[in-house]
Structure 1
Amino acid sequence: MKHRWRTGAAGVLAALMMTTSAGAVGAAIEIDGTSLDAGEAWIENGTSYVTLAAFSRETGRSLSWDGTSAQVDGGGLDLEATPGAIYVWSNERGLYVAETVRVVNGRAVLPLRVLADASGSSLTWDGSTAALSTWGAVPPQADYDQEDLYWLSRIISAESRGEPLVGQIAVGNVVLNRTESGQFPDTVKEVVFDSQYAVQFTPVANGTIYLEPAASSVLAAKLCLEGAEVAGDSLYFFAPAVSAGSWITQNRTYFAAIGSHHFYR
């Protein structure tokens, strides 16, 4: 079961590895062979952006606005993007958008790599052109291991309920990082209930692990299972407001403060 959540839609690895320079001279963005003009697609700080209007038009999908979010429908894709959010919903999948869902000149905009993941398309970069190809692509549907989702959402909720979404994602990252480390058990449930050297998570000791998770924590768990990473390779965290974290601070390497927790490698 290791690494299951690190895999993605066809072409997503190419999307993640594609690097471009900010404002690359002469750089172009294409969708299914059509070059988009600069008002619809551009490269900024190494990230390729496309308006949802251009993506929908070029891939034969419909675009609508319900007053709160933009909706892209058709071709097996049901995508919802809310301006300012750090995620989109795509066929009930939660996809992380580190740059946030943006609105530029009144139009909703997403990174090209997010649209590639959502639509199951291939994304390539040849040094001058970022090209998205949706031909033959099948948009992935939500397919989460239910046990992973069950326990991951509960430990996130119990440890970070009420925190910003990015802080909840960070807690989930630690749990998944542990499943990939030889120092800890291999599954989410086993990591949560690991007690080899002592109970690892306070919610297991006080029983709050069994409480119904907050909706935001379920979202955070899905984002983590889809590959969202904000805590790097951190394996430990603690909240300075309630714990000194003495062993962690003396034995592990500090990564960052995210939400109310400090994270350590």
Structure 2
Amino acid sequence: MINMKRVMAAILSLSVLMGAPSSAFASSYIMHTVKSGDNLYSISQEHNVSYAQVANLNGKDELYAGNLVKVRPISGNKDIRIYLNDQVITADTLPYIENGRTFVPIRFIAEAIGIEQINWNDHNEEAILMKNGVTISLPIRQSYAMIDHKTITLDAPINIYNGRTFVPLRFVAEAFNVDVEWQESTASVKLYTKGYKPVKTETVMKASISYSQEDLYWLSRLVHAEAEAEPFEGKLAVANCIINRKKSKDFPNTIKEVIFDRNWGVQYTPTANGTIYNTPSEESVKAARMALEGNNNIGESLYFLNPKKSTNNWIVKNRTFYRRIQNHDFYL
């Protein structure tokens, strides 16, 4: 381990953790890390966007494995905003999203949550953050990190973008005991330190009494049956897909009727195989409740599927891809 002055000097000279300030883009982007064999066409197909869009965003330069390319602006051409205890905090380079995860410059998040020490390990090409006896290691261009020597798989790799090292915001924040909430409607990430009580908006308070116990009963069971093995964010997204259908004129207008809808055939396999009646986990109940209270992380998506298992080509061919969360793809 080396001292902070030497670390910062090395970082500046290598443009790894720090770099010259660059102008911000008009919006934050959905990004893709190039893999061996990728080209702009294959990337456009993987993300269900047009080749022309990807080419226009990135030009026709040769692609290199490990580098980032832009897929599309986030919904609504918004900038991602970061809040700490309900106060906006700003980085000099905009965050981006890859595989459903928000990435931010490492120095930005470290300073925001009071990291005591940032080190750089040349041998392993990794940044090391330490606070309150917790150490996390973040190796560049790898899809894993370590918390006190325990390896954690990430949904997308740590990477270099605009001369900065970008790291997954939720992973770093939660590793240091900071709560994280994503608000889809405003493209905002809310960070809350322990002991701080978030301001509860009037909208959320009204939404919290707008559902019945029957709604919670069936929604939590559907979430559990469809997304038991998915992360909490995936469970929340599945719950919101059901709620979005309830709100849509094209589907029934109650949670239960949406789940058991067979107008175009069985909509959700658990209603056919009986797993809809299994007792949901606490996390599934929490996801259902949060969705019913207005916490939406999936926009207006109406459909989801596991591309490794699904045989439903109609969704892929006819609906607009929105986002991937672990094993599920979500469509508008």
User: What are the equivalent positions in structure 2 for 1:177-216 lying under 5 Å apart?
Assistant: 177-216=244-283
- Answer yes or no: is the 8 Å Cα contact 1:203–1:209 preserved in 2: yes
Please state if 1:159 is matched with 2:226: yes
Report the counterpart of residue 171 of structure 1 in structure 2.
Answer: 238
Question: Conserved in 1, the CA contact under 8 Å of 2:216 and 2:285?
Answer: yes
Distance of 2:236 and 2:258 partners within structure 1: 16
CA contact (8 A) 1:83 1:100 kept: no
CA shift digits 1:56-81 (9 cap, x unpaired): xxxxxxxxxxxxxxxxxxxxxxxxxx
Change over 3 Å in CA distance of 1:163–1:100 after alignment to 2: farther
1:145-156 equivalent positions in 2, closer than 5 A:
145-156=212-223
User: After superposition, where does 1:91-102 map in structure 2 within 5 Å?
Assistant: 99=189, 101-102=191-192
Higher relative contact order (CA 8 A, sep 6+): 1
Deviation at 1:40, TM superposition (A): 8.5
Q: Which residue of 2 aligns with 1:29?
A: none
Question: Is 1:239 aligned with 2:284?
Answer: no
1:188-245 Cα shifts (integer Å, max 9, x gaps): 0000000011010010111000000111010001100111111111111101121143
Q: How many percent of aligned residue pairs carry the same amino acid?
A: 39
Q: Which has the larger radius of gyration?
A: 2
What is the CA–CA distance in structure 2 between the aligned matches of 1:41 and 1:217, rounded to whole Å?
A: 27
Change (3 A) 1:142 1:228: closer
Task: Give 1:1-265 correspondences, 5 Å limit.
Answer: 42-45=87-90, 83-86=177-180, 99=189, 101-103=191-193, 108-109=195-196, 114-117=198-201, 143=209, 144-265=211-332
Change (3 A) 1:41 1:219: closer
Q: Point out where structure 1 has 5 or more consecutive residues left out of the alignment.
A: 1-20, 24-38, 47-81, 88-97, 122-138
Q: Distance in 2 between matches of 1:206 and 1:232?
A: 29
Conserved in 1, the CA contact under 8 Å of 2:220 and 2:285?
A: yes
1:237/1:261 contact within 8 Å kept? yes
Deviation (angstroms), 1:162: 2.4
Counterparts of 1:221 and 1:256, CA distance in 2: 19
TM-score, with length taken from structure 2:
0.43
Cα distance between partner residues in 2 of 1:212 and 1:109: 33
Could you list the runs of 5+ residues in structure 2 that have no partner in the other structure? 1-79, 92-175, 182-187
3-state SS in 2 of match to 1:237: strand
RMSD (Å), alpha carbons: 3.8
| 2:141 matched residue in structure 1 | none
